[in-house]
Homo-oligomer: A and B are copies of this chain.
Protein backbone atom coordinates (compact mmCIF):
# COMPACT_ATOMS: atom_id res chain seq x y z
CA UNK A 1 0.00 0.00 0.00
CA UNK A 2 1.46 3.32 -1.16
CA UNK A 3 0.70 6.30 1.07
CA UNK A 4 0.09 9.50 -0.83
CA UNK A 5 0.13 13.22 -0.13
CA UNK A 6 -1.58 15.42 -2.71
CA UNK A 7 -0.25 19.00 -2.80
CA UNK A 8 -2.90 21.41 -4.05
CA UNK A 9 -6.66 21.35 -3.57
CA UNK A 10 -7.74 23.11 -6.74
CA UNK A 11 -9.31 21.54 -9.81
CA UNK A 12 -6.38 19.25 -10.57
CA UNK A 13 -5.85 18.37 -6.91
CA UNK A 14 -9.44 17.24 -6.71
CA UNK A 15 -9.05 15.04 -9.76
CA UNK A 16 -5.90 13.41 -8.39
CA UNK A 17 -7.51 12.80 -4.97
CA UNK A 18 -10.48 11.20 -6.72
CA UNK A 19 -8.25 8.88 -8.74
CA UNK A 20 -6.01 8.05 -5.80
CA UNK A 21 -9.14 7.02 -3.89
CA UNK A 22 -10.14 4.73 -6.76
CA UNK A 23 -6.79 2.93 -6.81
CA UNK A 24 -6.70 -0.09 -4.52
CA UNK A 25 -2.94 -0.08 -4.07
CA UNK A 26 -2.60 3.34 -2.49
CA UNK A 27 -4.10 5.44 0.26
CA UNK A 28 -4.61 9.20 0.37
CA UNK A 29 -3.05 10.29 3.65
CA UNK A 30 -2.56 14.05 3.26
CA UNK A 31 -4.14 16.86 1.33
CA UNK A 32 -1.99 20.01 1.46
CA UNK A 33 -3.26 23.45 0.55
CA UNK A 34 -2.37 27.03 1.38
CA UNK A 35 -5.61 27.43 3.31
CA UNK A 36 -6.71 24.88 5.85
CA UNK A 37 -10.28 25.31 4.73
CA UNK A 38 -9.77 24.05 1.20
CA UNK A 39 -7.39 21.31 2.37
CA UNK A 40 -9.89 20.13 4.98
CA UNK A 41 -12.83 20.13 2.63
CA UNK A 42 -11.04 17.85 0.19
CA UNK A 43 -9.33 15.72 2.86
CA UNK A 44 -12.62 15.13 4.63
CA UNK A 45 -14.19 13.70 1.49
CA UNK A 46 -11.55 10.97 1.39
CA UNK A 47 -10.98 10.54 5.11
CA UNK A 48 -7.46 11.95 4.80
CA UNK A 49 -5.56 14.54 6.88
CA UNK A 50 -5.55 18.20 5.97
CA UNK A 51 -2.41 20.29 6.23
CA UNK A 52 -1.09 23.67 5.07
CA UNK A 53 2.62 22.87 5.22
CA UNK A 54 4.11 20.97 2.29
CA UNK A 55 7.15 20.02 4.40
CA UNK A 56 4.98 18.34 7.04
CA UNK A 57 3.47 16.00 4.48
CA UNK A 58 6.70 15.35 2.61
CA UNK A 59 8.72 14.64 5.70
CA UNK A 60 6.13 12.41 7.30
CA UNK A 61 7.73 8.97 7.37
CA UNK A 62 4.50 7.23 6.46
CA UNK A 63 4.29 9.05 3.11
CA UNK A 64 5.66 7.17 0.08
CA UNK A 65 4.71 9.44 -2.77
CA UNK A 66 3.83 13.07 -3.48
CA UNK A 67 1.40 14.23 -6.14
CA UNK A 68 2.04 17.87 -7.04
CA UNK A 69 -1.02 19.78 -8.24
CA UNK A 70 -0.14 23.22 -6.87
CA UNK A 71 0.51 26.32 -9.03
CA UNK A 72 3.36 25.95 -11.54
CA UNK A 73 5.84 28.34 -9.80
CA UNK A 74 5.82 26.09 -6.71
CA UNK A 75 6.66 22.86 -8.58
CA UNK A 76 10.44 23.17 -8.51
CA UNK A 77 10.73 23.72 -4.75
CA UNK A 78 8.34 20.90 -3.94
CA UNK A 79 10.07 18.47 -6.30
CA UNK A 80 13.41 19.41 -4.71
CA UNK A 81 12.10 18.95 -1.19
CA UNK A 82 10.52 15.60 -2.07
CA UNK A 83 13.60 14.39 -3.92
CA UNK A 84 15.78 15.16 -0.94
CA UNK A 85 13.29 13.27 1.26
CA UNK A 86 13.51 10.33 -1.13
CA UNK A 87 9.82 10.35 -1.95
CA UNK A 88 8.38 9.32 -5.30
CA UNK A 89 6.91 12.30 -7.17
CA UNK A 90 4.11 12.74 -9.64
CA UNK A 91 4.22 16.32 -10.93
CA UNK A 92 1.45 18.00 -12.89
CA UNK A 93 2.93 19.53 -16.06
CA UNK A 94 4.85 21.73 -16.58
CA UNK A 95 7.79 21.44 -14.22
CA UNK A 96 8.35 25.16 -14.81
CA UNK A 97 7.90 27.75 -17.54
CA UNK A 98 11.62 28.67 -17.49
CA UNK A 99 14.00 26.24 -19.11
CA UNK A 100 16.86 27.05 -16.71
CA UNK A 101 14.65 26.13 -13.76
CA UNK A 102 13.64 22.87 -15.49
CA UNK A 103 17.34 22.14 -15.97
CA UNK A 104 17.85 22.78 -12.25
CA UNK A 105 15.11 20.19 -11.59
CA UNK A 106 16.88 17.70 -13.85
CA UNK A 107 20.08 18.21 -11.88
CA UNK A 108 18.29 17.68 -8.59
CA UNK A 109 16.68 14.52 -9.88
CA UNK A 110 20.05 13.30 -11.16
CA UNK A 111 21.48 13.84 -7.69
CA UNK A 112 18.48 12.36 -5.88
CA UNK A 113 17.19 9.69 -8.26
CA UNK A 114 13.60 9.23 -7.07
CA UNK A 115 10.76 7.76 -9.16
CA UNK A 116 9.48 10.81 -11.05
CA UNK A 117 6.49 11.05 -13.37
CA UNK A 118 5.29 14.11 -15.29
CA UNK A 119 1.57 14.56 -15.89
CA UNK A 120 1.35 14.29 -19.68
CA UNK A 121 -1.99 12.55 -19.20
CA UNK A 122 -3.03 12.43 -22.87
CA UNK A 123 -0.49 9.68 -23.50
CA UNK A 124 -2.70 7.51 -21.29
CA UNK A 125 -5.91 8.10 -23.21
CA UNK A 126 -6.88 4.63 -24.50
CA UNK A 127 -7.59 5.85 -27.99
CA UNK A 128 -4.33 7.77 -28.35
CA UNK A 129 -2.22 5.00 -26.87
CA UNK A 130 -3.94 2.55 -29.20
CA UNK A 131 -3.00 4.74 -32.17
CA UNK A 132 0.61 4.88 -30.99
CA UNK A 133 0.77 1.12 -30.52
CA UNK A 134 -0.52 0.67 -34.05
CA UNK A 135 2.11 3.10 -35.39
CA UNK A 136 4.88 1.27 -33.49
CA UNK A 137 3.52 -2.06 -34.75
CA UNK A 138 4.04 -0.75 -38.29
CA UNK A 139 0.38 -0.45 -39.27
CA UNK A 140 1.13 2.67 -41.31
CA UNK A 141 4.60 1.51 -42.39
CA UNK A 142 7.18 4.28 -42.22
CA UNK A 143 5.63 7.36 -40.70
CA UNK A 144 5.49 10.23 -43.22
CA UNK A 145 3.12 12.69 -41.59
CA UNK A 146 1.57 13.17 -38.18
CA UNK A 147 -1.27 15.69 -37.88
CA UNK A 148 -2.84 16.80 -34.66
CA UNK A 149 -5.92 18.96 -34.20
CA UNK A 150 -6.42 20.33 -30.69
CA UNK A 151 -9.02 23.03 -30.20
CA UNK A 152 -10.46 24.07 -26.85
CA UNK A 153 -14.13 24.98 -26.39
CA UNK A 154 -13.23 28.31 -24.80
CA UNK A 155 -10.21 30.28 -23.62
CA UNK A 156 -9.17 30.31 -19.95
CA UNK A 157 -9.63 33.55 -17.94
CA UNK A 158 -7.33 36.35 -19.06
CA UNK A 159 -5.63 36.53 -15.66
CA UNK A 160 -4.66 32.86 -15.98
CA UNK A 161 -3.18 33.60 -19.42
CA UNK A 162 -1.01 36.39 -18.00
CA UNK A 163 1.23 33.88 -16.27
CA UNK A 164 0.78 30.93 -18.60
CA UNK A 165 3.99 31.36 -20.58
CA UNK A 166 2.20 31.88 -23.88
CA UNK A 167 0.06 29.63 -26.07
CA UNK A 168 2.75 27.16 -27.18
CA UNK A 169 4.09 26.63 -23.66
CA UNK A 170 0.70 26.48 -22.00
CA UNK A 171 -1.22 24.43 -24.52
CA UNK A 172 0.64 23.22 -27.62
CA UNK A 173 3.16 21.55 -25.29
CA UNK A 174 0.62 18.69 -24.83
CA UNK A 175 0.45 18.16 -28.58
CA UNK A 176 4.22 18.46 -28.92
CA UNK A 177 4.70 15.73 -26.33
CA UNK A 178 2.25 13.45 -28.16
CA UNK A 179 3.98 14.10 -31.49
CA UNK A 180 7.39 13.13 -30.09
CA UNK A 181 5.97 10.19 -28.16
CA UNK A 182 4.07 8.76 -31.13
CA UNK A 183 6.82 9.34 -33.69
CA UNK A 184 9.62 8.44 -31.25
CA UNK A 185 11.63 11.35 -32.62
CA UNK A 186 12.53 14.88 -31.58
CA UNK A 187 12.13 17.57 -34.27
CA UNK A 188 15.22 18.95 -36.01
CA UNK A 189 13.46 22.25 -36.42
CA UNK A 190 10.05 23.85 -36.01
CA UNK A 191 8.15 26.52 -37.90
CA UNK A 192 5.13 28.12 -36.31
CA UNK A 193 2.71 30.91 -36.98
CA UNK A 194 -0.09 32.39 -34.92
CA UNK A 195 -2.82 34.97 -34.72
CA UNK A 196 -5.12 36.56 -32.22
CA UNK A 197 -8.59 35.93 -33.64
CA UNK A 198 -10.67 34.74 -30.69
CA UNK A 199 -10.35 37.49 -28.09
CA UNK A 200 -8.51 40.81 -28.50
CA UNK A 201 -7.69 40.77 -24.78
CA UNK A 202 -5.43 37.83 -25.45
CA UNK A 203 -3.64 39.87 -28.09
CA UNK A 204 -3.23 42.74 -25.66
CA UNK A 205 -1.21 40.37 -23.48
CA UNK A 206 1.08 39.75 -26.44
CA UNK A 207 -0.29 36.24 -26.75
CA UNK A 208 -2.06 34.39 -29.58
CA UNK A 209 -5.16 32.19 -29.57
CA UNK A 210 -4.93 30.48 -32.97
CA UNK A 211 -1.79 28.76 -34.17
CA UNK A 212 -0.23 26.23 -36.48
CA UNK A 213 3.04 24.42 -35.98
CA UNK A 214 5.13 22.36 -38.39
CA UNK A 215 7.99 20.12 -37.26
CA UNK A 216 10.56 18.35 -39.37
CA UNK A 217 11.77 15.10 -37.84
CA UNK A 218 15.21 13.49 -38.38
CA UNK A 219 13.56 10.68 -40.40
CA UNK A 220 12.04 13.25 -42.76
CA UNK A 221 8.57 12.77 -41.29
CA UNK A 222 6.65 16.06 -40.95
CA UNK A 223 4.34 16.88 -38.05
CA UNK A 224 1.55 19.41 -37.95
CA UNK A 225 -0.37 20.82 -34.99
CA UNK A 226 -3.25 23.27 -35.18
CA UNK A 227 -4.63 24.92 -32.07
CA UNK A 228 -7.48 27.22 -31.27
CA UNK A 229 -8.66 28.61 -27.96
CA UNK A 230 -12.28 28.57 -29.12
CA UNK A 231 -14.10 25.81 -30.98
CA UNK A 232 -17.82 26.51 -30.72
CA UNK A 233 -18.78 22.89 -31.50
CA UNK A 234 -16.78 21.51 -28.57
CA UNK A 235 -13.38 20.15 -27.61
CA UNK A 236 -11.90 18.95 -30.91
CA UNK A 237 -9.17 16.35 -30.44
CA UNK A 238 -8.05 14.34 -33.46
CA UNK A 239 -4.81 12.68 -34.53
CA UNK A 240 -3.94 11.39 -37.97
CA UNK A 241 -0.88 9.26 -38.71
CA UNK A 242 -0.01 8.82 -42.38
CA UNK A 243 2.71 6.55 -43.71
CA UNK A 244 3.97 4.29 -46.46
CA UNK A 245 1.39 1.58 -45.71
CA UNK A 246 -1.70 3.54 -44.75
CA UNK A 247 -3.33 5.99 -42.40
CA UNK A 248 -4.72 5.88 -38.87
CA UNK A 249 -7.19 8.37 -37.42
CA UNK A 250 -8.60 8.83 -33.97
CA UNK A 251 -12.15 10.17 -33.89
CA UNK A 252 -13.74 12.69 -31.60
CA UNK A 253 -15.80 11.02 -28.91
CA UNK A 254 -19.46 11.89 -28.77
CA UNK A 255 -21.62 11.74 -25.66
CA UNK A 256 -24.25 9.82 -27.62
CA UNK A 257 -25.46 9.83 -31.15
CA UNK A 258 -28.90 10.31 -32.64
CA UNK A 259 -29.17 10.72 -36.40
CA UNK A 260 -32.05 12.71 -37.81
CA UNK A 261 -32.97 12.66 -41.51
CA UNK A 262 -35.44 15.15 -42.87
CA UNK A 263 -36.34 16.48 -46.29
CA UNK A 264 -33.71 19.19 -46.19
CA UNK A 265 -30.87 17.75 -44.14
CA UNK A 266 -29.28 15.04 -42.04
CA UNK A 267 -28.47 16.10 -38.51
CA UNK A 268 -26.46 14.38 -35.86
CA UNK A 269 -27.44 15.25 -32.31
CA UNK A 270 -24.17 14.23 -30.80
CA UNK A 271 -22.41 16.77 -28.65
CA UNK A 272 -18.68 16.33 -28.19
CA UNK A 273 -17.29 15.80 -24.70
CA UNK A 274 -17.11 19.32 -23.31
CA UNK A 275 -13.46 19.79 -22.36
CA UNK A 276 -10.35 18.05 -21.13
CA UNK A 277 -11.75 16.96 -17.76
CA UNK A 278 -14.54 15.10 -19.55
CA UNK A 279 -12.69 13.98 -22.68
CA UNK A 280 -9.55 12.84 -20.88
CA UNK A 281 -11.25 11.60 -17.69
CA UNK A 282 -10.00 8.06 -18.27
CA UNK A 283 -6.45 9.21 -18.89
CA UNK A 284 -6.25 10.99 -15.52
CA UNK A 285 -7.22 7.76 -13.80
CA UNK A 286 -4.87 5.58 -15.84
CA UNK A 287 -1.84 7.86 -15.39
CA UNK A 288 -2.25 7.68 -11.59
CA UNK A 289 -2.69 3.89 -11.75
CA UNK A 290 0.53 3.65 -13.78
CA UNK A 291 2.38 5.91 -11.37
CA UNK A 292 1.27 3.86 -8.36
CA UNK A 293 2.20 0.65 -10.12
CA UNK A 294 5.66 1.96 -11.02
CA UNK A 295 6.28 3.12 -7.45
CA UNK A 296 5.09 -0.18 -6.03
CA UNK A 297 7.05 -2.36 -8.45
CA UNK A 298 10.03 0.00 -8.64
CA UNK A 299 9.87 -0.06 -12.42
CA UNK A 300 11.16 2.75 -14.59
CA UNK A 301 8.82 5.60 -15.58
CA UNK A 302 8.58 6.55 -19.25
CA UNK A 303 6.81 9.87 -18.93
CA UNK A 304 9.36 11.87 -16.99
CA UNK A 305 11.39 15.04 -16.53
CA UNK A 306 13.28 14.58 -19.82
CA UNK A 307 10.03 14.54 -21.78
CA UNK A 308 9.00 17.71 -19.99
CA UNK A 309 12.36 19.35 -20.71
CA UNK A 310 12.22 18.44 -24.42
CA UNK A 311 8.62 19.48 -24.92
CA UNK A 312 9.38 22.84 -23.31
CA UNK A 313 12.42 23.32 -25.56
CA UNK A 314 10.24 22.66 -28.62
CA UNK A 315 7.46 24.94 -27.40
CA UNK A 316 10.02 27.71 -26.85
CA UNK A 317 11.29 27.15 -30.39
CA UNK A 318 7.70 27.52 -31.69
CA UNK A 319 7.38 30.74 -29.72
CA UNK A 320 10.59 32.06 -31.26
CA UNK A 321 9.59 30.92 -34.75
CA UNK A 322 6.45 33.06 -34.68
CA UNK A 323 8.51 36.10 -33.68
CA UNK A 324 11.49 35.49 -35.98
CA UNK A 325 9.44 34.02 -38.86
CA UNK A 326 11.93 31.30 -39.56
CA UNK A 327 12.65 27.68 -38.73
CA UNK A 328 14.11 27.25 -35.25
CA UNK A 329 16.10 24.24 -34.05
CA UNK A 330 15.12 23.40 -30.46
CA UNK A 331 17.98 23.07 -27.97
CA UNK A 332 17.73 19.68 -26.27
CA UNK A 333 19.36 18.63 -23.05
Whether A262 contacts B246 by the Cβ 8 Å rule is yes
The interface residues of chain B lying within 8 Å CB-to-CB of A131 are 258
Whether B212 contacts A222 by the Cβ 8 Å rule is yes
Closest to A133 in B: B258
Whether A245 contacts B222 by the Cβ 8 Å rule is no
Whether A259 contacts B248 by the Cβ 8 Å rule is yes
**Of B220, B233, B242, which one neighbours A246 at CB under 8 angstroms?**
B233
Interface residues of A in 261-277 (CB under 8 A from B): 261-263, 265-270
Given contacts A195-B216, A197-B142, A222-B212, contact A246 B261 (CB under 8 A): yes
A159: Cβ under 8 A from any B Cβ = no
Question: Which of A41-49, A77-85, A102-110, A249-257 participates in binding chain B?
Answer: A249-257
A214: Cβ under 8 A from any B Cβ = yes
Whether A222 contacts B211 by the Cβ 8 Å rule is yes
A1: Cβ under 8 A from any B Cβ = no
Question: Which of A65-73, A113-121, A170-178, A224-232 participates in binding chain B?
Answer: A224-232
Given contacts A145-B212, A220-B197, contact A259 B251 (CB under 8 A): yes
Whether B222 contacts A193 by the Cβ 8 Å rule is yes
Whether A246 contacts B260 by the Cβ 8 Å rule is yes
Given contacts A248-B260, A261-B247, A265-B269, contact A195 B212 (CB under 8 A): no
If over half of A's interface residues share one DSSP class (helix, strand or loop), that class is named, otherwise mixed; here it is: strand
Whether B211 contacts A193 by the Cβ 8 Å rule is no
The interface residues of chain B lying within 8 Å CB-to-CB of A224 are 212, 224, 226
Whether A195 contacts B211 by the Cβ 8 Å rule is no
The interface residues of chain B lying within 8 Å CB-to-CB of A55 are none
Give CA–CA (A16, B93) in the complex, Å: 39
Whether A263 contacts B246 by the Cβ 8 Å rule is yes
The interface residues of chain B lying within 8 Å CB-to-CB of A186 are none
The interface residues of chain B lying within 8 Å CB-to-CB of A216 are 193, 195
User: Can you list 20 pairs linking A and B with CB atoms under 8 Å apart?
Assistant: A126-B255, A127-B258, A130-B256, A130-B269, A191-B327, A193-B214, A194-B222, A197-B221, A212-B224, A231-B247, A232-B263, A233-B247, A233-B262, A236-B247, A245-B263, A247-B259, A251-B259, A266-B267, A326-B326, A326-B327
Query: Can you name 4 extra interface pairs (CB under 8 A) apart from A191-B325, A325-B327?
Result: A127-B258, A193-B222, A248-B261, A251-B259
Chain A residues near B (Cβ < 8 Å): 126-127, 130-131, 134, 139, 142, 144-145, 147, 151, 189, 191, 193-198, 210-212, 214, 216, 220-222, 224, 226, 228, 230-233, 236, 242, 244-251, 253, 255-263, 265-270, 325-327
